[in-house]
Amino acid sequence: MSYVTVIESPCRGKMPVYEYWCDSCCRIVSSYQPGFSAPPPPCPRCDNSELKRIFSTFSVQKTHRDVYEDILSDRQLTDGMMRNDPRALAEWNRRMNSGDKSPPEYEEITDRMGRGEWPVAQIEQKKKESFGQGATKSESR
């Protein structure tokens, strides 16, 4: 199944965007076409008239509500979170992050929790260091 983007064109109404591969210049060409059976256009870069239609890539973005519903419907995950299982919390964090780039410190902590570690002491120490509060109680004894 090919995914086709439909764009509203003021002069022509709704028109789908198809993608083609140009063997001559090795590029993907996107083109507005009046229908699926329309002949491929020439390549706008090299004027090659033998473009091959390809499947367009696409992604479906979930809303925050969809992510929450997925998490709440995952009985194993919610049970793990209720037991304070660090692996469950790491999985929850991954699902909530949904593709956003995280800082390396966050990734490190999430990875450790995914292995079953509970790095609370290390997190507290890093917070104290970053706010300049010095040594922990265990270091001052």
> φ and ψ at 18, to 5 degrees?
-110, 155
Residue 137: Cβ-neighbour burial (10 angstroms; 0-12, 13-18, 19+): exposed
For residue 52, list its beta bridge partners.
21
Q: Is residue 139 part of a domain?
A: no
Note the pTM of the prediction, 2 decimals. 0.42
Residues 74 and 68: their CA atoms lie apart, in Å, by 10
The helix (H) or strand (E) run that includes residue 83 is none
pLDDT, one tens digit per residue, over 106-131 is 788 888 888 988 877 777 777 788 77
pLDDT of residue 7: 42
**Whether residue 121 is found in the same domain as residue 77:** yes
Give me the chain's average pLDDT, please. Answer: 77
pLDDT of residue 54: 86
Instruction: Specify the number of domains making up the chain.
Output: 2
Helix axes 104-114, 86-97, angle to 10 degrees: 140
Q: Is residue 100 part of a domain?
A: yes
Angstrom CA distances, 96 to 34, 110, 121, 137, stand at: 40, 12, 24, 34
**Whether residue 45 is found in the same domain as residue 93:** no
